[in-house]
Structure 1
Amino acid sequence: MPKLFFQKWLPSSEKIAKLKLMKVFGTRTLNPLLWYVNRHAIAKAIFIGTFWGILPVPFHSLFIVLSILYFEVNLPIGLCMAWLTNPLTVVPILYLGFWFGAQMYHVKMINNEMLLGVLHQMINWLRNFGHGHIDFHLAKILVSGLFVEALLCAVLLYIVTHLVWRWMVIKKWKSRHKKG
């Protein structure tokens, strides 16, 4: 059953509470609801972790923990979803986010000239220690697209979690009744 799998796999509340990030929140991380394993707690934690994990915000783990403390869902699963954005996935995530943004604003995808222009602006901005012009038109497209991507992926994984969990429970139930 999925519940048994998660209970074996997840670390203890004491182990997580000892992490530097968790010490900021004190004893609130020892709340039993943050360690409860059921279909709803896991699915909501996956939604929260996926949403904040895809968005390009600094310290997204902090936002995940704050959301999980507010909604009182499974803390370790939510934090694991923060690893969605890593060096291997960041390029596809950014590309898909820009694609969604381009569709929303009815603009063409970025081409080589536009990419070189943005790179040139960034180099000049760095050379002048933060002074200079940067065209934030592309940033607006990217951030809007990433928000839509984060929301769509979070909803999709939330639904998939519910469906897979239910399928596994039904499968286990049927196999028990065939034996008995």
Structure 2
Amino acid sequence: MAKKIFKRWLPDPSEFRNRPALNFMGHLLHDPNLFHLNRHSVSGAFFVGLFVCFLPTLGQMPIAALLAFVFRVNLPISVALVWISNPLTMAPIFFATYELGRWILNSPALAFSLELSWEWFNTEFLRLWKPLVVGSVITGLFFGGLGYISMQMFWRWHVVRNWEKRKARRLNAAPPGTK
């Protein structure tokens, strides 16, 4: 089943719950829905993880974990998917979302340079934030929805394929004359 595919890559829930860094969460990690591997939990986790990975914020992993708690979807998958926007991919992702937001808001192109300082944040970023946020939310909703639908379809396809295999095995294993 599709469940087996995800189970290979995800940590065991008991290992996850026993990590010292997560002790502050206490009983919250004992909700079985946070570690379930079913079609709805995995699809919801794909939506949450892909949506959050396009948000231009710091702390994407805690945000994805919080949303996984709120929507009771698979926590490890939600948190892992935010790593699509990593230090190597962040610049192209956020530039593309800025351009999309600029196009949607019909705002003029602004010349800017990137500098990691408080002064830059107070001057330049305040001019750029609206198109960036609009583009990021729309892109996050689009790719989150696409991930959700794709996982629903993949899961369904995988289940139907396994049913067909079992059906073929039963037909091949049946004694002659009983087909």
Decide: shared fold, TM above 0.5. yes
Name the CA distance, whole Å, in 2 between partners of 1:38 and 1:86. Answer: 27
Runs (4+) off by over 6 Å? none
Partners in 1 of 2:150 and 2:70 — Cα distance? 23
Aligned-pair CA distance for 1:109: 4.8
Aligned to 1:69: 69
Partner of 2:123: 134
Q: Structure 1-normalised TM-score?
A: 0.82
Q: Work out whether 1:17 is the aligned partner of 2:17.
A: yes
Once residues 4 and 43 of structure 2 are traced to their aligned partners in structure 1, the CA distance between those partners, rounded to angstroms, is 15
Is 2:56–2:94's contact at 8 Å kept on the other side of the alignment?
Answer: no
Structure 1 counterpart of 2:30: 30
Q: CA deviation at 1:144?
A: 1.4
Q: Which residue of 1 aligns with 2:139?
A: 149
CA RMSD across the alignment: 2.3
Stretches of structure 1 lacking an aligned partner (at least 5 in a row)? none
Kept in 1, the 8 Å contact 2:54–2:94? The answer is no
1:41 aligns with 2:30: no
Aligned with residue 148 of structure 2, among 153, 158, 161: 158
Pick which of 18-27 and 145-154 moved more: 18-27
Q: Deviations over 1:126-179 (max 9, x none)?
A: 4xx639961423221112111111111101110111011111111121122122
Larger Rg: 2
Query: What is the SS of the residue equivalent to 1:24?
Result: helix
What SS does the corresponding residue of 1:87 show, helix, strand or coil? coil
Identical pairs, percent: 28
2:122 and 2:49 map into 1 onto residues whose CA distance is 35
Distance change >3 Å, CA 163–CA 132, structure 1 → 2:
closer
- Unaligned 5+ segments in structure 2 are 171-179
The farther-off stretch of 14-23 and 87-96 is 14-23
The answer for the alignment partner of 2:177 in structure 1 is: none
CA separation in 1, counterparts of 2:122 and 2:50? 33
Task: Compute the displacement of 1:35 (Å).
Answer: 1.2
Query: TM-score, structure 2 length as denominator?
Result: 0.83
